[in-house]
Structure 1
Amino acid sequence: MTLQQFLLILRARYKVALLTLLLTVATTVVVSLLLPRQYTAGAAVVVDVKSPDAVSGLMLQGMMAPGYMATQIDIINSDRTAKAVVKLLRMDQSPAIQQQWQEATQGKGQMIDWLANLLQKNLDVKPSRESNVISINYTGTDPDFAADVANAFAQAYINVNLDLRLAPARQYAAFFDEQTRAARTKLEKAQQALSAYQQKNGITSADDRFDFESAKLNETSSQLTGIQGQTTDSQSKRQNAKADTVAEVMQSPLVNGLKADIARFEAKLTESNINLGKNHPQTLRSEAELATLKAQLEAETRKITSSIETTYQVSKQREQQLQGALGAQKARVLVLNKQRDELNVLRRDIESAQRTFEAMSQRASQSSIESQTNQTNIAVLNPASAPSVHSKPRVLLNILVSIFLGTLLGVGVALMLELANRRVRSAQDLVEALDLPVLGAISSAAGMLQHATQNTLAKTATTGAHA
């Protein structure tokens, strides 16, 4: 169908199209005037996503997520929020509403669910495009009731949002309380194990005791080393064949004095033998004195060498005693070292239990505070008020829409009538219908008459102008 054919059809059936348009507009006007007036009340809430948490002081990353505002809108539209509105307005306690529920559902199901479903049908929640403000609109036949429901939805949304935050906090608080008690019990057991071990082994200060015993072991080891040196020295002197070469003998003042006296008397005796002879009394007396001095020297040498033997035996004995004491001290230090290691293990158990207890106690305190808070990041920005002008029906908008729809409907009716009773409106229709060429076309009489009239008027105007 060409545009010319379409326009010819509309010209031929314009009355039907116009009648359809008028009926559509008239019906729309009548229905719009007969419909009950509805009022829309709106409340605005603001969601703060940039302030830190009031308890922990931390920024919650979930609030910055792109889907956070969409989640808040879903919460407002949820059944839980609608049920909270029913409870806030005490609609389930109204006898009239109970009667309506009985008539509508025959007593089947829960009335609170039925009321929540009715409220959700007239609820419209819209987020602001460039801010964190959410508009909560409710439409009803009573302006005061619409405002009350809108405000109730805002308050219910705040309450539900707070419950959604507090429910996990309460669970965490109960969990961390239990963990804190378990950590405290573990810490007490670790402390009791340490005390019992100290009492069992008589330990008051393990570090001081270990240091004392270690110092004692070092001292015993030093004494043993010294005694072993003395024993070795005494043994070497003891095994020496020449007693007069022993250091003690050579360093003895008495021995050196006796040797000097012997040397003097020997010189004197030699002189006496030369001057007086061997049988002279003075020579004999000198020989007797010299023999006495030699006997004293020999006795003193034997005494010194005997003292070396005694020293060797004493040193040997002392060495054995110190070796036994050193072995016993080593065993004692090893025992103390083992005890100290076990004490360190017990102390580390206590430190670990202490850290766990402090961490659990801190988390339990924080969770307890979070479970008791009544603060939320949502606040009512603009409460709803009873509207003075109805929002529905919109008569002007409905008329404009009806004009558009009536025009389309009228054109559609005209086309349907034309298709049901097809007629020839132009030469092109004959070409399409008969598939034959058109040799000529005769205009309608009305068209010819109109054309002749226009020509006559033109000629008369021209003659008048020449005259």
Structure 2
Amino acid sequence: MTFAQFLSILRARKWAALLVFSLVVATTVVVSLMLPKQYLGTASVVIDIKPDPVSATLFPGMATPGFIATQADILMSERVTLRVIRDLKLMDNAPIREQWQTEAEGAGTFEQYLIELLQKYLEVKPSLQSNVISIEYKSPSPQFAAGLANAFAQAYIATTLELRGDPARQFNSFFQAQTKDARDSLERAQQRLSAFQQDKGIIVTNERLDIESARLAELSSQLTQSQSISAESSSRQAQARGDQSDRLQEVLNNPLISGLKADLTRYEAKLQELSQRLGDKHPQVLEARANIAELRSKIDVETRRVTSGVSVSNTINKSREGQLSAALNAQRTKMLEMKAVLDEGQVLQREVQNAQSVYDNLVARLNQSALEAQNTQSYASVLTVAQPPAEHSSPKTLLNTLLAIFLGAMLAVGVALLMEMTDRRVRNPEDAVAALGLPVLGSLPVPGAKRFNPARPVGLSLATRQRAMSLPAPGVQADI
């Protein structure tokens, strides 16, 4: 279809198109003027994503991409709407109750009717690039629209506090019970440790164990020395009991035995001289021999006395060694007992420390949950307070009229084209060429026409186009 054909169709169907266009525009204007005026109250809240002042941590979920969308859903929830109903005492509003009885005819509950009614005219618009949420409420009353928008903002903030405070209060009750159990466990652990210390009569510490360890090392050193001394004294005793007792150091160092040996040497020399000079039977020789025998006897007696002292010393050393060995064994046994006591005491001390640590952590968490339960600061704040609008937001007569003009024009054109498709006619020579497949040689004016206009289309039913080739009807233009 060419533009000329399109214009010819519009000229032919102009009255139908104008009728449709007029009806659409007139209906829109009348309806816009008859519709009740609606006022839009707009408030806004801002979500402040920052660490919680109580716990000093970021509120859970704030960093997620869907956090703002979640807040919008909360704002549209029945919980917030119910709070608005309670805050504004809409349940006691007689006109609204009469409206419910009229519209719902008693079906359902009045509360559910209010929820649906309020949510019907509520619109929540979260911002795409910021943390601001707009709250819009539409009502025939500008004061009511502004009041409902502000009420929803306040109810949303109060609900966020409840959503944070209710779990905190539940956790607070939980931590109170857990803290009581932890305190009882700590007291029982302390009682077991105190009873253990009283039963053992000591306070087992690492310092005491270090002292006993040093004493054990000292006893071990003394025993080693005593064993060395005892071995040496045993060797001297064995030497004293043998044929070499006169070679003992004690015997050699004894001044009396040394003097007797010196006298014995002198008398032996004198005896040898007297024997050579006087003979063996001389009284002086016999006397010298008697003196030598007496000196030898004294030396033997004194040697036995000295060697008996070595035996006594060896006995003392053996006894000392035995005492040190017994003391060492006793100290070792004591150390083992103390180590066992220390291990048991350390287990009890660790139980007390663990119970104390658990109790301290629970007390800290209890205090934190108590602060969170008492927190009155929400992460949402009112950014803009709704004011009663001076002008209504709907209906927008000018905008509706412009849209009606556009839609009416489109609809009028569509109706004209639809009518043309149901009753197709030859409007210009191009239609004849398209319908017959023959060139146009000329055209005659319509009888009664004021002047000849070759471009003027004449309506000719396509059903009669075959007859138009042979004989034109009177009063109808025919193409030749």
Query: Does structure 1 residue 335 correspond to structure 2 residue 348?
Result: no
Which AA in structure 1 matches 2:12? A
SS in 1 for 2:52: coil
Q: Is the 8 A contact 2:444 2:454 kept in 1?
A: no
Task: Kindly provide the CA deviation profile for residues 259-313 of structure 1, in whole angstroms up to 9, marking residues without a partner as x.
Answer: 3333344344445555676666666555444433332221121112112222333
Match among 448, 452, 457 for residue 449 of structure 1: 452
| Structure 1 counterpart of 2:472 | none
Deviates more, 1:366-375 or 1:302-311: 302-311
How far residue 234 of structure 1 moved from its aligned partner, in angstroms, is 2.3
SS of 1:100's equivalent? Answer: helix
Distance 2:329 2:212 in 1: 13
Deviates more, 1:197-206 or 1:384-393: 197-206
Q: Which has the higher helix share?
A: 1
Q: Would the alpha carbon gap of residues 224 and 129 (structure 1) be closer, same or farther in structure 2, given more than 3 Å must change? A: closer
Whether 1:58 and 2:57 are equivalent positions in the alignment is: yes
Q: Distance in 1 between matches of 2:301 and 2:161?
A: 112
Residue 107 in 1 paired to residue 101 in 2?
A: no
Assess, with a 3 A threshold, how the Cα gap between structure 1 residues 38 and 298 changes in structure 2: closer, same or farther: same
Aligned to 1:422: 424
How much does 1:178 deviate? 2.4
C-alpha offsets along residues 221-262 of structure 1, whole Å, 9 cap, x if unaligned?
Answer: 334333322332222222222101222222333333333333
Unmatched tracts of structure 1, length 5 or more: 453-467
Residues in 2 aligned to 1:267 and 1:189: alpha-carbon distance in whole angstroms = 96
Measured after TM superposition, the shift of residue 120 of structure 1 is: 1.1
The match for 1:255 is: 257
| The 10-residue stretch of structure 1 (202-211 or 273-282) with the greater mean CA deviation from structure 2 | 273-282
Equivalent residue number for residue 403 of structure 2: 401
Change (3 A) 1:417 1:251: same
Question: What SS does the aligned partner of 2:438 have?
Answer: coil
Output the CA distance in 2 between the equivalents of 1:109 and 1:256.
137
Counterpart of 1:336, as a letter, is: M
How far off is 1:432 after superposition? 4.8
CA distance in 2, matches of 1:160, 1:372: 14
Q: Which amino acid aligns with 1:157?
A: Y
Aligned to 1:440: 441
Question: Is this contact kept in 2: 1:427–1:441, CA < 8 A?
Answer: no
What is the match of residue 132 of structure 1? 131
Measure the CA separation in 2 of the matches of 1:443 and 1:342.
Answer: 130
- The answer for the alignment partner of 1:465 in structure 2 is none
Q: Find the aligned partners of 1:104 and 1:265 in 2 and give their Cα distance.
A: 159
1:69 is aligned to 2:68: yes
Tell which has more relative contact order, 1 or 2 (C-alpha 8 A, sep 6+).
1
Q: Secondary structure at the match of 1:125?
A: strand
Single out whichever of 173-182 and 360-369 deviates more from structure 2.
173-182
Q: What SS is found at the alignment partner of 2:135? A: strand
How far apart are 1:439 and its partner, in Å?
4.8
Q: CA deviation at 1:359?
A: 1.6
Greater mean deviation of Cα atoms: 140-149 or 66-75: 66-75
* Residues in 2 aligned to 1:134 and 1:79: alpha-carbon distance in whole angstroms: 18
Match of 1:62, SS state, is: coil
TM-score normalised by length of structure 2: 0.86
Equivalent residue for 1:177? 176
Once the two structures are superposed, the pairs formed by residues 26-105 of structure 1 within 5 Å of their partners are: 26-49=26-49, 51-60=50-59, 62-105=61-104
Alpha-carbon shift at residue 137 of structure 1 (Å):
1.3
Shift of 1:9: 1.2
1:369 corresponds to: 371
Write the distance in 2 (CA, Å) between the matches of 1:443 and 1:347. 125
SS of match in other structure, 1:239: helix
Specify whether residues 444 and 277 from structure 1 end up closer, same or farther in structure 2 by C-alpha distance, changes over 3 A only. farther
The answer on whether the counterparts of 2:100 and 2:106 sit within 8 Å (CA) in structure 1 is: yes
**Post-superposition shift, 1:380?**
1.3
What are the Cα deviations for residues 41-92 of structure 1, in whole angstroms up to 9, with x where unaligned? 111222211x321112223363232222212211111111111111111101
* Distance (Å, rounded) in 1 between the aligned partners of 2:440 and 2:181: 110
Further displaced range: 291-300 or 154-163: 291-300
Aligned partners of 1:17 and 1:414 also within 8 Å: yes
Query: Structure 1 residue 141: deviation in Å?
Result: 0.4
Q: Deviations over 1:317-372 (max 9, x none)?
A: 44344434433332222121111111111112222222222222211211111111
Counterpart Cα distance in 2 of 1:261 and 1:144: 147
Q: Amino acid of the residue matched to residue 255 of structure 1?
A: I
Give aligned pairs, total: 450
Q: Distance in 2 between matches of 1:151 and 1:319?
A: 100
Partner of 2:452, secondary structure, is helix
Match of 2:464 in 1: none
Residue number in structure 2 paired with 1:349: 351
By how many angstroms is 1:138 displaced? Answer: 0.9
User: After alignment, is 158-167 or 191-200 more displaced?
Assistant: 191-200
Give unpaired runs (5+ residues) of structure 2: 456-480
2:452 alignment partner AA: L
Indicate the RMSD between aligned Cα atoms, in angstroms: 2.6
